[in-house]
Amino acid sequence: MPDYLPFWWWKWWQGHQQPKPAPTPAPIPHSSSLFRWMHQDRDLTTVGAAALQTAKRGTWMTLDKKNRARQFRAFVVMSLRIAPLSWRQVPLGQLGPHLYSTPERNAAGSAIARTLVLLAPDNIRPGSDIVTNEGDPTQGTIETGIIHAVTILLVTVVAIAAAYLGGIAVQSIHAINFDDEITKRLLAAQARSMEILSLHVERERIAGHELPFDETERSMLLALEDVQRRLATQRHRPLPSPFQGATELVKATTSFLPMALLVFAAFFLIKHHDERRS
């Protein structure tokens, strides 16, 4: 696997972002308005590639706090970007079953998004807009005129979890135990899965249509889901659903088996019947 991924989709997506209008003041806490997480980085692509390598090696704690925060925020944004499994522009964090053509693709996207939900605490409620800039402390006001910004509307569980993780990365760094073995394994499995799915989506872009996952891709996603279950069990909580309609790879795969067996049995009986007639 190359150290630097072909982030063509990331550059394309950034290049099609429209200039942001002058923002309105952040809403008061616990209002019914939509909240936003805005993250700014001068080189999100390079920082994201470095974050994948850090995650695979499990070397988060070798980074200083600011670089750790910057890389982890990029890692979170990349997770949201890859989860839709599409080279087309999709609003970050706006996930749902309508994006996926098969239960297996739904399960793959759910697995990527589920990691963020697992790392965040339960029952998070956004109180106001969240603004982060590279690895700097979180700000409560929205600045204007800054380029290379991504905006996530906090309307789904995974988007709220992502905003929380991006916001606490400096001030409360111990909210995520980067030294915990299961957490390190989860982040490493997440990084490897994001790499293979990024390459898979690029192959689909070149082919012009969706392609089935191969056995290597399925095994990588199953390994990610297995670590997610272990972390959920460790925390005495069920495996969370990152969005309504999300499924699991194990369930998506096993739900196909009964139908496949019926089709195989029908084919065998028809063939056997034809042989007897002949």
* pLDDT tens-digit readout, 30-60: 444 678 899 999 999 999 999 999 999 999 9
Q: What is the pLDDT of residue 269?
A: 55
CB-CB contact of 172 with 178 (8 Å): no
Q: What is the pTM of this model?
A: 0.79
Q: Greater confidence, 207 or 32? A: 207
Q: What share of the chain is helix, strand, coil (3-state, %, to 5)?
A: 55, 5, 40
How far, rounded to the nearest angstrom, does the alpha carbon of residue 201 sit from its chain's CA centroid?
Answer: 14
pLDDT tens-place string over residues 76-92: 999 999 999 998 888 99
Which one, of 22, 16, 14, 24, lies nearest residue 46 by Cα? 14
Contact 246, 110 (CB under 8 A): yes
- Check pLDDT > 90 for residue 70: yes
CB 150 within 8 A of CB 38: yes
> What's the full length of the chain, in residues?
278
- pLDDT interval class at 10 (50, 70, 90): low
> Of 121 and 278, which is predicted with more confidence?
121
Confidence band for 263, pLDDT divided at 50, 70 and 90: very low
**Angle at which helices 103-119 and 157-168 pack, to 10 degrees?**
40
Mean pLDDT of 95-108: 95
pLDDT at residue 5 greater than cutoff 80 = no
pLDDT at 83: 97
Rg over alpha carbons for the chain, rounded to the nearest Å, is 21
Contact 216, 250 (CB under 8 A): no
Residue 205, pLDDT score: 94
Residue 236 has pLDDT above 60, yes or no: yes
CA distance 123 to 185: 24
Report the first-to-last Cα separation within the chain, whole angstroms.
Answer: 54
